Structure 1
Amino acid sequence: MNAVLPVLLFALGGVLIGGAWSMHRQGASRGALWLVGTLAVLATAGGVLWLIPGDT
């Protein structure tokens, strides 16, 4: 499970980034773009932080 979660978070981040880009091209409001973009950054950052070794 330790190797699966970061991959899922990166995949989610990619889907959200693609969705934000699609929304931008379709003329969505800035608030919606900020929300989806923020969620994409959080998911990607979560994937990166999960891969940082820690003391367990």
Structure 2
Amino acid sequence: MGAVLPTLLLILAGLLVGGAWSLYRQGASRGAVLVTGLLAVLATAGGLLWLLPGEG
């Protein structure tokens, strides 16, 4: 059950990447695309870092 949160974060990252791409294709403002892309990067990094073996 320890892999549920990273999995959800990676799913969220995928949705955000798709959202950023959709915003870009629709001609949304650069700020909206960048914020959505940044959130996707953060969710991906969080999901991957959570999966790294750590102390304990």
Category of TM-score, reference length = shorter chain: over 0.9
Superposed displacement of residue 2, structure 1? 1.5
Structure 1: distance between partners of 2:47 and 2:2: 11
Task: After TM superposition, list the pairs within 5 Å mapping 1:7-46 onto structure 2.
Answer: 7-46=7-46
**Matched residues, percent identical?**
68
Structure 1: stretches of 5+ with no match in the other structure: none
Superposition deviation, residue 54 in structure 1: 0.5
TM (normalized to structure 2)? 0.96
CA RMSD of aligned residues (A): 0.7
Q: How many residues align?
A: 56
Structure 2: gaps spanning 5 or more residues? none
Residue 49 (structure 1) aligns with: 49
